[in-house]
Amino acid sequence: MDLPIFEVAPKLARRPFLPIAARPTPVEGAPSLGDRIWVKRDDLVSPRYGGNKVRRWEWLLGAAKDRGVETLVTVGGLGSTQVTSLTVHGTDAGFEVVAVLFDQPASAFVDEALMLDHQFGGRPIVAGGYVRTAIQTLSVLRRTKRSLFVPPGASSPLLNVAYVDALLELSKQVERGEAPRPDRIVVPCGSGGTAVGLAVGAAILGWPTRVEAVRITELVVSNPLTLAALTYATERLLRREGLSTPRKLDVKLHMDHRFVGEGYGHATPAAETGAERFTRAFGAAGEITYSGKAVAALDVIAREHPDEQILLWNTLSTTGRPVV
């Protein structure tokens, strides 16, 4: 498969890869979200179940098949879209998917996610708190042969390459006149891999675009230091894979802490409003963990920078889910 990333890091083409994404995803204006607002529709990256993990799974599932893995073991909250996405695409690729789930506040979206996890053939295990989740995960890994652990967020230098490639995909759409080059990209930030990949991709191109990573989880998990470490590791991997840019990359990545509220999965009034606006804009239920807080941030950032072109990178699937 010919990906834009192979043009800048050609050795990546030798790595195992399982194509499952429908690319390029559309980029379009979003007048219901505001003037000069654009959306990159990664919610449509797969008709089975979209969202920002699908591009990552192409690299992860390819490597897992190459290694003879049979079972994928992951961890997430009760309403984790990563868990649902891995369940869908992992089982489609022939893997068993086991997900150990930690508590998060109850909501209709959490109920939907749990329903989909079962519906798509996964094996979710509700563990409770973080400590019990860790113990249960280690127990599952010890008992399971030919398994691969997929950490929360699925962020690693290799998997972050998926969003370097996605930014390069966007650049070709900009060249074709489908959208202006964004001054800012707004994206929800858990483990940070999507934001890092986008920012590294923009830096490779020499774009002045700034990526606004909207923190949605606890500071100990997601913070400027973790983003910096991921950025460094991702650039190092790309250079090993043939990136020949002579200069050190000028990565413009900023973490916005204003919208997290009490932490992962906890509602705020702004997130609830953001989730409602997401639903009206995209026709599938928004939620308050990621998309609601990202739309809330988008609204504030757009008011703070009224003359800029701002792009929301939609990371929440609108496919494979109940239509509202």
SS3 content of the chain, % helix, strand, coil (to 5): 45, 15, 40
Domain edges within the chain: 8-53+155-313, 69-150
Q: Given a cut of 60, is residue 150 above it in pLDDT?
A: yes
Indicate if the pLDDT at residue 153 is higher than 90: no
Q: Are 98 and 122 in contact (CB under 8 A)?
A: yes
The CA–CA distances, whole Å, from 274 to 88, 204, 317 equal 27, 32, 16
- For residue 324, name the pLDDT band (cuts at 50, 70, 90): very low
Write the pLDDT tens digit of every residue in 93-137: 999 999 999 998 888 889 999 999 999 999 999 999 999 999 999
Share of the chain above pLDDT 90, in %: 91
Task: Give the mean pLDDT of 245-264.
Answer: 93
Q: Assign domain 8-53+155-313 one CATH number from 2.40.37.10, 3.40.350.10, 3.40.190.10, 3.40.50.1100.
A: 3.40.50.1100
pLDDT of residue 170: 99
Respond yes or no on whether the N-terminal peptide bond of residue 24 is cis (omega within 30° of 0).
Answer: yes
pLDDT digits (tens, 9 = 90+) for 217-232: 999 999 999 999 999 9
User: Do the domains at 8-53+155-313 and 69-150 have one common CATH topology?
Assistant: yes
Whole-number pLDDT of residue 248: 86
- What kind of fold does domain 69-150 have according to CATH? Rossmann fold (3.40.50)
- Write down the pLDDT at residue 6: 97
- Dump pLDDT digits (tens) for 261-314: 999 999 999 999 999 999 999 988 899 999 999 999 999 999 999 999 999 999
pTM of the model: 0.95
Query: Please, which pLDDT band fits residue 323 given cuts at 50, 70 and 90?
Result: low
Task: Report whether pLDDT(236) > 70.
Answer: yes
DSSP string, 129-149: SHHHHHHHHHHHHHH-TTEEE
